[in-house]
Amino acid sequence: MKCSWDCILVAGIGGMAPNLAKVGLDLVENLKQPAPEMKLYIGLVFLFICGAVVAIAFSETSIRKAFVLGISAPGLITNLVASGPIQRSSVELFSPSSAYAQNESIERNPSLDSLLNEASNSTTRQKLLIINSNIAGAGKWSKENVWVNVKAINANGTESIINSINGETNEAISSIPTTTKSIVLESGGVRKIIDLPEDKDLRAIMLDANIELKGQNDFLWALGQQRRPNVDSITSGITGVE
C-alpha cells in the first residue's frame, strides 16, 4: 500500500521537529544573536525531505508511525554534523624577513617586563608570544562565539596547542619554546601559518591577528550543530620583537 500524502506530510514534520525545537530554544535563550539566515530554512527543508523519503520508502500508512519514522530519519545526519564544522585550509606563509622590522620593539610595561624575565630565567628556555587580535565589525554575540586556537610548530614539525583565544580577548600572552619555528592560528576551519624569526635570543614576539567573519553556519545549525559565526579569513603578521 502506498504512503498517503498525510503520512508524507507528518513524516516530514517529524524530520524537522527535534532540530526545529533546538533552534527555537537557542533563539529564546539568546535574543541578541543575529536573525536566522536563509540557510537555516534550507536546512529545515532538507530535514523535511529526509523524513518524507523514509516514510515513502517504508510505505507507511499509519500517521503516528510516520511521525516516528520522520523523527528518526535525520538522526545519522545530525550526529555527523554535531561534532564540528568541516575543516577547510587557507594557508599562507609569511617570510620573517618581510613580516617584521628588526628595529621595532614591543611597548614596555612593568607586567610585561616581569613575564619577560620569568621566561628568560626558565630552565626550559622559553619566550613570550603576544597576540593582539581584532574582529572588525563584529557584534558582541559574534565575538563571544569565535575562538582561535594558537599552535606552535616545533623544530621536528610537530604541532602543539599553546592557547585558545576568545574573540573578546584583545591581547593574549603565552610562553613558547625558543625552538618554535612557526605559529599556527586556526578558527572555523581556516588555518594561518606565520614563520618566526630564527633568532633564538629573542625574548618576545608580537603578532597581529585580524579575523574576518562572514555570516553564520545556519545550515549546519538547522542540522544540529551549535550556531557560530563563519570565519572567512585570518590575516596575521609580526609587528614587534624584543
pLDDT one-digit tens code per residue, 135-155: 877 788 998 999 999 999 988
**In contact, 52 and 11? CB cutoff 8 Å:** yes
**In contact, 15 and 47? CB cutoff 8 Å:** yes
pLDDT one-digit tens code per residue, 17-50: 999 999 999 999 988 899 999 999 999 999 999 9
Alpha-carbon dihedral sign for residues 132, 136, 137, 139: negative
User: Which residue, 234, 240, 239, 237, is CA-closest to 185?
Assistant: 234
Cα(206)–Cα(45) distance, integer angstroms: 47
**In contact, 142 and 229? CB cutoff 8 Å:** yes
Name the band, by pLDDT with cuts 50, 70 and 90, for residue 67.
very high
The full set of domain ranges for the chain reads 5-81, 96-241
Cα(106)–Cα(112) distance, integer angstroms: 10
The full length of the chain comes to 242
Is residue 98 predicted with pLDDT exceeding 60? no
> Which residues in 25-47 are b (16+ Cβ under 10 Å) and which e?
eeeeeeeebeebeebbeebbebb
What global pTM score does this model have?
Answer: 0.71
Is residue 78 predicted with pLDDT exceeding 80? no
Name the band, by pLDDT with cuts 50, 70 and 90, for residue 92.
very low
pLDDT for the residue numbered 94: 35
DSSP 8-state assignment for residue 181: -
Element (H, E) at 153: strand 147-153
**57 or 113: whose pLDDT is higher?**
57
Does the 96-241 domain belong in CATH 3.20.20? no
**In contact, 186 and 110? CB cutoff 8 Å:** no
